[in-house]
Structure 1
Amino acid sequence: MGKDNLAEDAIRLNKYMSDAGFCSRREADRLIEQGKVTIDGQKAALGDKIFWNQIIAVNGREIEREEKRILIAFHKPRGIVCTTSKNDPDNIVDYIHMDKRIYPIGRLDKDSEGLILLTNKGDIVDDILRGSNHHEKEYVVTVNKKITSDFVRKMEQGVPILDTVTRPCKIEVIGDYQFKIVITQGLNRQIRRMCEYFEYRVIRLRRVRIMNILLGNLKEGTYRGVTDKEFSELKRLLKKR
């Protein structure tokens, strides 16, 4: 998710500091003028605007808004787009229609369905999305022709797509035309491209797990809060890398 989609959410630095309960806007301006405030490690200037996921510090100490963390698991229907842009009528934020501002963690193709996490906090977003962390995501995939052992073997070994070779993955065949796959990357339309390489076409793609968070019986188009137990385990897994 890039800043282009969040341009409308940029706010003035002094307002952020005030909303965080750190100081008044006037005091914030004074601290900025004195060079004591940084944005992502760079010295701030009066009038600067910031985005939700940037790190603001005063004298090296990070500050953030006093907001209760929101982390939800959403069963995205096919056709919904994982963007915050109001220019897209099918954007995920309007579909969920929560009274708090939330952001999708990563993406799930418009033509795909299943589990996606959304949050109002930026501190875990980068950890989950960082490809080097090898975090598992599991999908159930339906294809247009019968699955062969040769297809499975070659898929698991790694497939050349997008000028790279995919990491080894795990596949479990659950039907003549359906399999489960666990990947640790998030390349653009990765599973569809992997299948296309072997002349298979994906008919349906549903994500059922992100790390320790399961889709379970969550109905399409609905969401639930991630439990404290799930969040504790998620943090533990994030720290392992």
Structure 2
Amino acid sequence: MSEPVRLSKRLIEQLGCSRREAELYIEGGWVTVDGVVVEQPQFKVETQRVELLPGARAETLEPVTLLLNQPKGQDSETARASMNMASLSETHREGVRPLHGHFARLTCPAPLERGASGLQVFSQDWRVTRKIDADLRRLEQEYILEVRGETTLQALERLARGATRNDRELPRAKASWQNETHLRLALKNPQPGQISEICAYLRLELLGMRRIRLGGVSMGKLPLGQWRYLSGSERF
């Protein structure tokens, strides 16, 4: 009986490729062991059938950006750890190749405020994180607020022009009723506590807040706790 060997070594023996090429094939999800994709170069094989999928390329993985509908009560680290192959949204699977490498080295450039739910962004792409870091003060964020109480049209209009509460200037915000209990709010770079301040100014009790858009990227119809890839046409 043959001794177990690393999958990368078996691939080198079969293809005559370099060790780095073998690792890139495997990490890119192009190698199967008895018909099942294995992405770990150190995976041990014995007599199993090792094959390269059609179209295989020995290339470094392109960095990706993941959009998560984060549940209330999670912090960004817990949310990041919750993302896996199984929690990819069913309606966003077509045309994508989810890989374990897509969950490594993720950063969260615009974390949700504590207690908020909704759109959370995780990225491996330095171009995306740099743009969000540079533009965060100018990027409009949109929230759906669950509230209790009533306010006036005049108060909503003053909020859009600029308002103060307890001698503190509130961020300018566009607010409109979505229904009797939910207010749609759009503003730039809200700081922790400012949305609560806005609700207090409007004489509304804030029950929950859910971010649905960051700049030009909307969460879309993404089920709670599931994620999708940022598409090539989307820009923050």
Give TM-score scaled by structure 2 length. 0.59
One-letter code aligned to 1:228: G
Corresponding residue to 1:72 among 66, 73, 76: 66
Q: 1:152 to 1:172 in 2, by over 3 A?
A: same
Quote the residue 2:80 is aligned against. 93
Runs of 5+ consecutive residues of structure 2 not aligned to the other structure:
1-59, 85-99
Aligned pair count reads 160
Q: 1:167 to 1:175 in 2, by over 3 A?
A: same
Which structure is larger by alpha-carbon Rg, 1 or 2? Answer: 2
Contact 2:150 2:203 in 1 (8 A): no
Give the Cα–Cα distance (whole angstroms) in 2 for the partners of residues 153 and 93 of structure 1. 38
Runs of 5+ consecutive residues of structure 1 not aligned to the other structure:
1-65, 85-90, 235-241
Quote the residue 2:217 is aligned against. 213
* 1:38-85 deviations in Å (ceiling 9; x for gaps): xxxxxxxxxxxxxxxxxxxxxxxxxxxx65211011101001112x4x
Corresponding residue to 1:226 among 215, 226, 230: 230
Contact 1:208 1:215 in 2 (8 A): yes
Give the Cα–Cα distance (whole angstroms) in 1 for the partners of residues 111 and 168 of structure 2. 20
Contact 1:139 1:209 in 2 (8 A): yes
Secondary structure at the residue paired with 1:104?
A: coil
Q: 1:162 to 1:135 in 2, by over 3 A?
A: farther
Contact 2:68 2:119 in 1 (8 A): yes
Contact 2:148 2:207 in 1 (8 A): yes
Q: Does 1:182 align with 2:169?
A: no
Contact 1:147 1:178 in 2 (8 A): no
Contact 2:145 2:206 in 1 (8 A): yes
Contact 2:171 2:188 in 1 (8 A): yes
Give the Cα–Cα distance (whole angstroms) in 1 for the partners of residues 109 and 156 of structure 2. 29
One-letter code aligned to 2:121: L
Aligned residues with identical type, % of pairs: 17
Contact 1:170 1:183 in 2 (8 A): yes
Corresponding residue to 1:172 among 160, 165, 176: 176
For the aligned residue pairs, the C-alpha RMSD in angstroms reads 2.5
Task: Return the offset for 1:200.
Answer: 2.3
* 1:187-210 deviations in Å (ceiling 9; x for gaps): 113212221244422112111111
Give TM-score scaled by structure 1 length. 0.58
